[in-house]
Amino acid sequence: MATTVYISEDDVEDEVLKDTMLMADYVFASTELETLVINRFALTVDVIATPLHLTVKEFVLAVAYARRSELNIGMGNRLMDGIDVYAYKHKMYSKKVIELADRITPSMITGDSTSGKWSPSIDLFRS
């Protein structure tokens, strides 16, 4: 089964990485999203709502950025905080991937919102 690609070059906002991103990065990041959906939430990939929830989209972009910056380490002629710009970006985006993955919920994946729906309640009385 082919992976759906959830992001494209139009979504890239990192100016340092913008011109270096490849389709392979988008495919890799999209596959990581599908792996997260299957392994962590025990859902199928067909429930992934598009357009992606903002947090989910940021996760996919962070995975793509982390991958591309890792592959580009040593190719940068700029330094950030005294290290190669790509090494800096890799460290930053790898951390962001973990943080975003922890924030993603099943409802963000499926697009289902539980707010505003009726839920059963039990009246409590004080005696």
Q: How many distinct structural domains can be found in the chain?
A: 1
- Residues with Cβ within 8 Å of 5's Cβ and at least 6 positions away in sequence, in order, are 23, 26, 27, 30
Indicate the pTM of the whole model. Answer: 0.85
- The amino acid that residue 90 corresponds to is H
Residue 95 forms part of a structural domain: yes
% the chain with pLDDT above 90: 76
- Residues with Cβ within 8 Å of 22's Cβ and at least 6 positions away in sequence, in order, are 68
68 pLDDT tier (thresholds 50, 70, 90): very high
> How far from 73 is each of 66, 84, 94, 101, CA to CA, in Å?
11, 7, 14, 24
Residue 83 forms part of a structural domain: yes
Residue with tokens 């930053």: 92
Give per-residue pLDDT as tens, 10-33: 999 999 999 999 999 999 999 999
Residues 78 and 85 sit within 8 Å (Cβ to Cβ): yes
Residue 96 forms part of a structural domain: yes
Chain centre distance of CA 14: 14
Q: Domain span at residue 34?
A: 21-106
Residue 115 forms part of a structural domain: no
Give per-residue pLDDT as tens, 72-117: 998 877 777 778 999 999 999 999 999 999 999 999 999 987 554 5
- Residues with Cβ within 8 Å of 127's Cβ and at least 6 positions away in sequence, in order, are none
Residue 16 forms part of a structural domain: no
Residue 42 forms part of a structural domain: yes
* pLDDT above 70 for 123: no
Residue 117 forms part of a structural domain: no
Residue 35 forms part of a structural domain: yes
**Mean pLDDT throughout 48-70?**
97
